[in-house]
Structure 1
Amino acid sequence: MSAAVDILCFSSADWHGKWGSRQQVMLRFARRGYRVLFVEQLAGLEHFWKYPNLRQRRWRRWREGAQEIKPNLWILSPPPLFPGRYYSPAVARLNAALVRRWLGTYLRRLNIPKPILWLYQPEHAPLIGRFEERLVVYHCIDEFTAGTHGRKRQTIAALETEVLHRADVVFANSTLIYESKQKLNSNTYRIPSGADVEHFVLALDPTTPVHPISAAIPHPIAGYVGNINNKLDIRLLAAVAAGLPDWQFVFVGQPYSQSVDLRPLRAQPNVHLLGRFPFAEVPALVKGMDVCLLPYADTEFARYRSPLKLYEYLAAGKPIVSTDHPEVREFVQWLEIASTPEDFAAAMLQVREEDSPEKQRRRTKLSQQHSWDCRVDKMEQIVSMHLGKM
């Protein structure tokens, strides 16, 4: 495809926030010659009032304007919007008009006349048709109605239905999301999460030192990397930790006590909630883990997700124990699945005992088929095909 193609991406995360699919995908398109304007997550005045750190960070970046942080890649923080967009389509449309007017200056300055409009959230529906876009892509990485109720659920569902009806291409990152969205848009493609293989394979590199924090924790270590929220089965984890007192359980990620009760986990003396670390430090932390965990709860919120960490653990060569989740079943030859605390603990002991350098190399080799580069290869082919039909 021509290197002159531009992408206007409305993200559901900030660029320097939790590193995931939005940043990985847009970074790779920029590397391929696409010019990408990455608009960070839209936030209402209520969020600026509730989170002082967000207010300070966004105010500074908003005043800085568009910043080119990589070749062909600019990030831009939007101004605060009117509250209530999750409860009122009218407010969502008013905010869209404000965003379009605000963005106009930057689109002219960067000479982005007819971009690919790449959306990540249902609330972006009113933005469609405001940028003379040549193609609309909806990259659906969550089931946004999961865990919501009443008017909020109805509004999100209505906005997403609009996105699905108007999008030219829909990328669904899990089987359940694909099955749901394909009913409303026949141009829906399943593209799961991927791994930054070159980054996580550093965990197998002999020259990579174990992170000092991991090095200070005695083995054996069971580890999890990611947000600690209601997608995890906290009670199962607490029971497993209680049943394996000689093991240490290390959690690398932001704990969200407001979404899930973490007290059962905190009560275990062999549990370490280390908090969030820079993405660059994660391979050194994973290197210190003997077994990696995918302890997802059996909830609507968790079932629809594509477990990014599955592919990252494989790239790091680590043995994996998971609860039963739709997205891990196809990897049953590469990990152990367990549903009860007793079975989960037994699986941890088994995979650690059976691990070997050869198995580690095979896991890393498998992960190369699931790299972000492979995912974006497929996305680019699909986008090119649909642009050719326009």
Structure 2
Amino acid sequence: MNWLYFGGLIDSTKWTIQRPHHIAKALQEFGDQVLGFNEPRSLAGVIFDFVKGKKLPLPKKAQIQNVTIGDGKTIIPTFFPKGLYPLPQKFLPSKIISMYKKAFLRQLVPFLDSNVNKFDFIWVSGVQNPEVIDFLFNLFPKAKKIYDLIDDFPGLNKSGLIRESFNNFDGVVSINKNLLEKYKRWVKPPSLIIPNGVSFPEKPGFALKKRKIQKITYFGVFDFWFDWNLLETIISFLPEIQFHLAGIVGASFQKKMHRLLLHPNVFFEGHVPFSEIPSLLREADLLLITWKECDMAKFADPLKIKEALYAGIPVIYSFPTGDKIIDEKIIISCEPEEIVSIIRNHKIPGIEERSKWAEEIAKNYSWEVLTRRFRDFVISL
């Protein structure tokens, strides 16, 4: 089977960028071929420029580099102008946007011209522009089309995609039940829930061991949503434990991060690629997550928890509801003092419970299992 992935969402903080990467990788292991473009949604109009027949010459300064995703073994090329990061359109000068569109178009046209009759399935993810969707439908009339509903995009209802184009798809896959239910009144084609999975193999490839808490890991985005006071309180009460922080620090929060780094037991790993998260977790004794009131956390936090539980790492989740629940899987607490007490008194589930978690996650959330479900659904259409 030959697949064309065509989608958006460069925002790796939501981890949806890893969804096509891991599904494509698993599809290739089944013997399928996956090619595609990962196209930022803010620049989707470039395709419409092509539809209208505009000839846009490539500026000399807008050189193209082929940027691989994840571990580089999956063939989903991404095309960026050299030296530019695909920021949202409002942050880039109009001249740069114009160069970017022209450069992307220059790569897109020969690719489509040489592959029109090649694909059995068109897998569209994150594209909202109905004109772009119609263009893909017209270009690949014989291929089955699948829409992957990975986010509750702002303005999705207003874009016209749901009303005019959704029901032209042969199938719809959604990241979760709630998202699919929200759009169910427009979704007539067969649908399937494929949640985000974990990047570990189907069976854990390393032995779990009994351990006391010596190293705590936190990874995420350090910005105005982040609970700086909670983390600093925990760090100051536990000087004997190493805290390894990884992620992206917002531009206006550098001083706060430097203040944390004044503690001798705090280490900042910087931005960690998704492919390195398994090894980061394997080296930790506990994963700490702080609740954030933002859309990003709705997608990232559940996947972080699955990754940690699959690795056999217990999770403490700071959730400000006032509910103090100690679950057999996740320790939920809202008070830093209580978190410190839990860690000091080693109220952490043992190796037997950790093994059960790994087995449960492997049966339901490994990318190999999810992709097999995705592939069987699509082929059955």
**How far apart, CA to CA, are the structure 1 residues paired with 2:204 and 2:354?**
10
Could you tell me how far 1:283 is from its partner in structure 2?
Answer: 3.5
Residue of structure 2 equivalent to 1:210: none
Matches for 1:1-390 after TM superposition, within 5 Å: 3=1, 5-13=2-10, 20-42=18-40, 59-61=63-65, 70=73, 73=75, 75-77=77-79, 103-110=108-115, 112-123=117-128, 125-131=130-136, 132-133=139-140, 134-145=143-154, 154=155, 158=159, 161=162, 164=166, 166-186=168-188, 187-198=190-201, 201-202=204-205, 204=207, 220-229=214-223, 232-257=226-251, 261=253, 263-264=255-256, 266-268=258-260, 269=263, 270-279=265-274, 281-303=276-298, 307-324=302-319, 332-349=327-344, 352-369=346-363, 370-386=365-381
Residue of structure 2 equivalent to 1:49: none
Residue of structure 1 equivalent to 2:47: none
Could you tell me how far 1:167 is from its partner in structure 2?
Answer: 4.0
Contact preservation (8 Å) 1:38, 1:75:
yes
Could you tell me how far 1:274 is from its partner in structure 2?
Answer: 1.2
Contact preservation (8 Å) 2:123, 2:147:
yes
Length, aligned pairs only: 333
Give the 3 Å change call, closer, same or farther, for CA 40–316 of structure 1 in structure 2.
same
Could you tell me how far 1:278 is from its partner in structure 2?
Answer: 4.8
Give the 3 Å change call, closer, same or farther, for CA 256–41 of structure 1 in structure 2.
farther
**How far apart, CA to CA, are the structure 1 residues paired with 2:250 and 2:205?**
29
**Percent identity for Structure 1 against Structure 2:** 18
Contact preservation (8 Å) 1:182, 1:188:
no
Give the 3 Å change call, closer, same or farther, for CA 183–346 of structure 1 in structure 2.
farther
Give the 3 Å change call, closer, same or farther, for CA 354–263 of structure 1 in structure 2.
same
**How far apart, CA to CA, are the structure 1 residues paired with 2:182 and 2:335?**
29
Could you tell me how far 1:221 is from its partner in structure 2?
Answer: 1.9
Give the 3 Å change call, closer, same or farther, for CA 123–28 of structure 1 in structure 2.
same
Give the 3 Å change call, closer, same or farther, for CA 264–246 of structure 1 in structure 2.
farther
**Aligned-partner residue type, residue 129 of structure 1:** D
SS in 1 for 2:380: helix
Which deviations, in whole Å up to 9, do the C-alpha atoms of 1:192-220 show, x marking residues without a partner? 211122399456479xxxxxxxxxxx962
**How far apart, CA to CA, are the structure 2 residues paired with 1:169 and 1:235?**
46
**How far apart, CA to CA, are the structure 2 residues paired with 1:231 and 1:29?**
36
**How far apart, CA to CA, are the structure 2 residues paired with 1:112 and 1:339?**
56
Which deviations, in whole Å up to 9, do the C-alpha atoms of 1:27-61 show, x marking residues without a partner? 1122223321131333879xxxxxxxxxx998342
Contact preservation (8 Å) 1:320, 1:336:
yes
Q: TM-score, normalised by structure 1?
A: 0.67
**How far apart, CA to CA, are the structure 1 residues paired with 2:147 and 2:62?**
25
Contact preservation (8 Å) 2:6, 2:39:
no
**How far apart, CA to CA, are the structure 1 residues paired with 2:61 and 2:352?**
46
Contact preservation (8 Å) 2:125, 2:147:
yes
**How far apart, CA to CA, are the structure 2 residues paired with 1:333 and 1:111?**
52
**How far apart, CA to CA, are the structure 2 residues paired with 1:8 and 1:323?**
37
**Aligned-partner residue type, residue 23 of structure 2:** V
Which deviations, in whole Å up to 9, do the C-alpha atoms of 1:131-155 show, x marking residues without a partner? 334333232333333xxxxxxxx47
Could you tell me how far 1:355 is from its partner in structure 2?
Answer: 3.8
**How far apart, CA to CA, are the structure 1 residues paired with 2:279 and 2:301?**
24
Residue of structure 2 equivalent to 1:52: none
Q: Which has the larger radius of gyration?
A: 2
Residue of structure 1 equivalent to 2:52: none
SS in 1 for 2:180: helix
Larger relative contact order, structure 1 or 2 (CA cutoff 8 Å, min sep 6): 2
Unaligned runs of 5+ residues in structure 1 are: 46-55, 87-91, 146-153, 207-217, 326-330
SS in 2 for 1:128: helix
Contact preservation (8 Å) 2:278, 2:307:
no
**How far apart, CA to CA, are the structure 2 residues paired with 1:271 and 1:57?**
42
Contact preservation (8 Å) 1:199, 1:283:
no
Could you tell me how far 1:263 is from its partner in structure 2?
Answer: 4.8
**How far apart, CA to CA, are the structure 1 residues paired with 2:271 and 2:256?**
20
Could you tell me how far 1:314 is from its partner in structure 2?
Answer: 1.7
**How far apart, CA to CA, are the structure 1 residues paired with 2:359 and 2:131?**
43
**How far apart, CA to CA, are the structure 2 residues paired with 1:138 and 1:318?**
34
SS in 1 for 2:40: coil
**Aligned-partner residue type, residue 172 of structure 1:** S
Could you tell me how far 1:286 is from its partner in structure 2?
Answer: 2.0
RMSD: 4.5
Q: TM-score, normalised by structure 2?
A: 0.69
